[in-house]
Structure formats: C-alpha cells, structure tokens
Amino acid sequence: MPARVLVYSATAGYRHDSIEASIDALRSRASSTDFEFDFTEDKSLFTDEHPAKYDAIVFLNNSGIVLNDTGKAALQNYLNLGGNFVGIHCAADALRDTPFFGEQIGAYFDYHPPLQESVVEVVDNLHPSTAGLPARWRVLDEMYNFQSDPRAMFDHGTPHPIAWCQERGADVQQGCVAGRSWYTGLGHTVEIWGDELFLRHVLGGIMGALACKTTRAYNKEGKVGNPPTEV
C-alpha cells in the first residue's frame, strides 16, 4: 500500500508565485514514487481525524498563521502519534506563534539576500534528499538566513545550513512516538520546480521522512497513516 502524503499550501501572508507550479510538479511525479499526494489549502481539515489518514504532512511555502487553535492542536496530536513532517521554503515563516512548529521546522526564517546563483555544498550524500546531488550544487534561488541555528537542536554539518533532517521530530511531547522531520530552504522560484535535481531533493526528503516506519503504510502497529490493504 503506498504511503499517503498531505500537501498543505495555505498562506496568510506573502504568497509565492511558485505554489501552483510546485503542486503541478509534485502531482506529475506521484506515479514515479511509492507514495501518493493529496493537496489542500483548507485549514478546517486539520482535525484529529483527517491528518490521521496520512503518513506525512508537507507544509509547502506557507506564510503567516495558517492554522487556528484547533488545527494547531490537531497537528501536534498527529506528530505525537508518529506522523512525519516536511517543510519547504517559506514554511519556515509560518506559525510563528506556535513554538512546537518552530521546533519541528528546526528554525524560523529571518531574511534573505536578493535572488542569486549560489553553491550548495552537500555535506552528507547518504540521505535520500542528497543522494545523487553534486558535491557542489549550483542553484538559482533565495538563500534563507534563519533566526537561530538548527544545529542547536541537532548536529548538521558545516555553517549556514539550508536543508536538514531530524531523526526524531523535536516538538514531539514526552512519552509519545516521534516520526521524522525534513526541511529545505530552497523552492522560491517557478523555474526551480522544473529542475530535476531539485525535485529529486524534495522527493528524497519526503522518502527520508517516511523511512522511519512509524506510520501504517510501513508498520501495522502505526497509529496514523495509510493502512495496508488486507488480503
């Protein structure tokens, strides 16, 4: 049974022009993965029941306060039950009033210099999100600076991280099951969503999060996720 992934792209502040392109890109590649996507901007779906259908939740270029108190509590509950989390680009500028979300992202956005071609140094090529990337990856995108160093919570290579993962989501409450978290600061432009290396990076990030096997698609004891079909 494929893993099921909910992609949430609601905005309450700046809205990226690339959101529609990113949805199209992910949808077009679903058949080449072992997971399937559902897309929404409906915050009312964040209840204890609806997220429980998914093996991972992706926050895609969100901004501002995109969940009400009920939705925030539902997201925390989902993560406490072993749900996996992925954040992309401007997701680091969402839910700044919600400390557990900041911990799950790893760091909140601070500012960025002008759009420019930059070199991303791959310090760990063993993760699915970096496997196959060149050691020095040239990309045209916004290079985020963050309000804190995510390595304060977990080890992540050399200075100025732009993408990272957490083996155990940092916001999960004591005594609960921790899934994984993965974040990339890349994903600003429409054009980058047509870049095969970048899409490999994003899809690999989702794969890496799902690989912890805390959810039903991979673990019959999982408390959230897409349950395998009985035969």
Task: Kindly state the tokens that stand for 214.
Answer: 């805390």
pLDDT, tens only, 146-202: 988 887 755 444 567 999 999 999 989 999 999 999 999 999 999 999 999 999 999
What confidence score (pLDDT) does residue 28 get? 94
At 156 the pLDDT is 44
CA distances from 79 to 58, 172, 194 (A): 12, 6, 31
> Is residue 58 over pLDDT 80?
yes
For the residues 47-70, what does the mean pLDDT come to?
97
Strands (E), the chain: 3-8, 35-40, 56-60, 84-88, 109-111, 116-121, 136-141, 145-146, 163-166, 181-184
| Whole-number pLDDT of residue 153 | 59
The reported pLDDT for the residue numbered 159 is 62
Q: Is the pTM of this model over 0.85?
A: yes
Helix (H) or strand (E) holding 101: helix 99-105
User: What is the percentage of the chain residues whose pLDDT exceeds 70?
Assistant: 95
- When pLDDT is averaged across residues 92-105 and rounded to a whole number, the result is 96
Q: How confident is the model at residue 34 (pLDDT cuts 50, 70, 90)?
A: confident
For the chain, the farthest-separated pair of C-alpha atoms sits apart, in whole angstroms, at 55
Predicted pLDDT of residue 231? 39
pLDDT in tens, 74-89: 999 999 999 999 999 9
Q: Rounded to an integer, what distance in angstroms lies between the CA atom of residue 141 and that of residue 16?
A: 13
Tell me, which fold does domain 3-110+144-210 have in CATH?
Rossmann fold (3.40.50)
Contact between residue 7 and residue 55 where contact means Cβ atoms under 8 Å apart: no
